[in-house]
Amino acid sequence: MGSVPEPTIYDVATRAGVAASTVSRAFGVPGRVSERTRQKVVAAAEELGYVPNPHARALQSGKHATIALMLADITNPYFFELIRGAEQRARVAGNTLVIVNAEESRRIEFEQIQGLTGAVDGFILAASRLSDDELRALAGKHRLVLLDRELPPIPSVVRDMRGGCRQILEHLSSLGHREVAYCSGPPTSWMSAERWAALSGGAEEHGLTLRRVGPYAPTVANGAVAADGALRAGVTAVVAHNDLLAIGIVRRLRDRGVAVPEDVSVVGFDDIFAAELLEPPLTTLGAPGAQAGRLAVELLLDPPGRHHPAQLRLPSDLVIRRSSGPGSGG
């Protein structure tokens, strides 16, 4: 005995006494049919056991209730809280959050965005490695929000690096340090450039000489070569692009018999969970990750206006631990 065929949109249209296109609109864009007609269609569908195809609804309405969150490197623990905040906010709004890994590659990031076009309602790009021109072109075609990257008028959520780096400079200066190295991140990292600008712009005011070494990939493994570069610079304090790089630097210094913080102080960025577990625990500039993720989703779902999109800057606080101590001048 053959199975009973599933009811179709045409069966619903016949039962409700309307055109098939009206059934499509009733489920996909209900605002385009009267409430009386919509109720007739819904009643007919329930009688027949018809279940609307969500993909068909997406085609009709242009909405998929899906957001793509693109991460520069999914293995970086910094993104964990950001993902949590974004997912919570998306779920409250009835949206699904899709996580995409760009693997620190501009090419992969671009290809992933192209592949998801038409399947999601918008993109949140965290620490994007794309060029300014590429981002502007994408913003002209898609709903787009940037995280840890600022490019007006595209909506964005970033940390206040000026205020945060001022805290780092004040901390190291108060400890008597005079020679400091900044181990920079990838050359395509907007945040690395922002941190260097903030640190170098305030160094003289705090009696510090700042040297830039790098660039380095922001991983624990690359901390070894970064530590060697900092030692060649003859400094008493190192500020690393992120906590992963800082952890690698501390390990390398220990292997070379350089005591932290007695000989060299180390400071990172992001306050990932491993920062407190390091020996000695890492001094680092904290990041409001979950809040940033929530705000990015809100900007995407409810843009502040086509001509006046928002650029949000969140404060960050220095978490002082034992990896920073008195310098030779203290």
Q: For residue 317, what are its two tokens?
A: 């606080």
In a domain, residue 170? The reply is: yes
110/140 same-domain check? yes
Q: Choose one of 24, 46, 61: the last residue of a domain.
A: 61
**CA 222, 228, 229, 231 torsion: positive or negative?**
positive
Q: Give CA–CA dist 319/308, Å, rounded.
A: 35
The reported pLDDT for the residue numbered 155 is 93
List phi, psi (to 5°) of 84: -60, -45
54/86 same-domain check? no
284/209 same-domain check? yes
Burial call 118-144: b when 16+ CB within 10 Å, e when fewer:
eebbbbbbbbbbbeeeebeebbeeebb
278/297 same-domain check? no
Q: Which domain holds residue 38?
A: 9-61
86/25 same-domain check? no
171/267 same-domain check? yes
14/112 same-domain check? no
In a domain, residue 271? The reply is: yes
Number of domains in the chain: 3
In a domain, residue 329? The reply is: no
CATH (domain of 38): 1.10.260.40
The reported pLDDT for the residue numbered 322 is 97
191/259 same-domain check? yes
In a domain, residue 226? The reply is: yes
Helix axes 20-28, 35-48, angle to 10 degrees: 100
Q: What is the pLDDT along the chain (330 residues), one digit of tens a residue?
A: 455 677 888 888 899 999 877 887 777 655 667 878 888 888 888 888 887 655 444 444 446 688 999 999 999 999 999 999 999 998 888 889 999 999 989 999 999 998 888 788 899 999 999 999 999 999 988 889 999 999 999 999 999 999 999 999 999 999 999 999 999 999 999 999 999 999 999 999 999 999 999 999 999 999 999 999 999 999 999 999 999 999 999 999 999 999 999 999 999 999 999 999 999 999 999 988 899 999 999 999 876 665 456 889 999 999 999 999 998 644
The reported pLDDT for the residue numbered 309 is 62
- Give the pTM: 0.79
In a domain, residue 304? The reply is: yes
37/74 same-domain check? no
27/134 same-domain check? no
Q: Give CA–CA dist 243/267, Å, rounded.
A: 8
CB contact at 8 A, 147 and 156: yes
Q: Give CA–CA dist 263/260, Å, rounded.
A: 6
- Three-class DSSP category at 182: strand
CATH (domain of 83): 3.40.50.2300
The reported pLDDT for the residue numbered 60 is 45
Q: How many CA atoms lie within 13 A of 237 on its CB side?
A: 32
Q: For residue 312, what are its two tokens?
A: 């949000």
Q: Give CA–CA dist 51/203, Å, rounded.
A: 64
266/170 same-domain check? yes
116/171 same-domain check? no
* 3-state SS record for 207-248: CCEEEEECCCCCCCCCHHHHHHHHHHCCCCEEEECCHHHHHH
Q: Give CA–CA dist 232/255, Å, rounded.
A: 16
The DSSP letter of residue 323 is: T
In a domain, residue 322? The reply is: no
In a domain, residue 27? The reply is: yes
Helix axes 223-232, 243-255, angle to 10 degrees: 70
In a domain, residue 131? The reply is: yes
Element (H, E) at 318: strand 318-319
